[in-house]
Amino acid sequence: MTAPTPVSGPAAPALLELTAVSKKYGDVAALGGADLVVRRGELLAIVGPSGSGKSTMLNIMGTLDRPTSGRVRIAGYDVARLSDRELSALRAGTIGFVFQQFHLAPGVPALDSVADGLLYSGRTRGERRLLAERALRRVGLGHRLRHEPHQLSGGEKQRVAIARAVLGDPPLLLADEPTGALDSRSGTVVLELLHELHESGTAVVIITHDRDITASLPREVRVKDGRIEYDSAAPGSLSPALQEAVR
């Protein structure tokens, strides 16, 4: 079957929208007035130093946390209007997560680690394992189905985590520092895989502090002190170089 051609850019429909989103923890503003649109099939980096607010933004984008104020829309749904059950269903069907740490249970083979992502889907064990095998083959791990975490390299562990994240073909993949725990070679392999997922039609948002990763992606959103200070997709935005020059 031929992979779909991703439709991205201004013509693509919005998949995720943040409108004037703020998040406070007591008197501390972790995020202030963020406006962001991620369109179907996009590939972008949200970049910033530690403490900049980018991880807070990821948690809100992924519905793992609710904003103090502002509006979040995902796949056309206003998140604030959804019950916890509806929100869980939206998250399960729409968003895949990849984290810096792999979160693989010791002693559990790769096939079962991925299949467990569908544990509450109502599918039989055989169906879950079949879909898991397909996902692992998709990320190039068809030869590692029975291997446990201690038998896998760091890059292979991250690919297992990615297979689990894309198991249900979510239209949005949020990757939080996906190469942060990897050596440069394994990191390159994981980035290439994320590019391939994007080319197959998945919108991929990479949260990172790595400028080299950011430079390899078509869109950059820069976060500083809880605010978006630069978005290369925004009309009239200064380039990073010019922005530095006028400071």
Q: Give the list of residues 6+ apart from residue 38 with CB closer than 8 angstroms, or none.
A: 14, 15, 16, 17, 44, 61, 172, 203, 205
Whether pLDDT at 97 is above 80: yes
Highest-pLDDT range among 89-93, 117-121, 212-216, 218-222:
218-222
What b/e sequence results for 221-243 when a residue is b if at least 16 CB atoms lie within 10 Å of its CB, and e otherwise? Answer: bbbeebbbebbbbeeeeeebeee
Specify the pLDDT at position 11: 61
pLDDT in tens, 28-47: 899 999 999 999 999 999 99
* β 203-208/172-176 pair status: parallel
pLDDT in tens, 16-28: 999 999 999 998 8
Neighbour-count burial of 117, counting CB atoms closer than 10 A to its CB (0-12 exposed, 13-18 middle, 19+ buried):
buried
Confidence class for position 119, pLDDT limits 50, 70, 90? confident
Q: In this structure, what DSSP letter does residue 17 have?
A: E
Q: Give the list of residues 6+ apart from residue 195 with CB closer than 8 angstroms, or none.
A: 43
**Which residue, among 112, 105, 104, has the nearest Cα to 132 in the 3D structure?**
112
Alpha-carbon distance of 165 to 238, in angstroms, equals 34
User: Mean per-residue pLDDT for 100-124?
Assistant: 90
**Which residue, among 194, 6, 21, has the nearest Cα to 96 in the 3D structure?**
194
Specify the pLDDT at position 1: 33
Instruction: Domain 14-102+154-245: give its CATH superfamily.
Output: P-loop containing nucleotide triphosphate hydrolases (3.40.50.300)
Alpha-carbon distance of 75 to 62, in angstroms, equals 12
- The model's pTM is 0.86
Domain ranges in the chain are 14-102+154-245
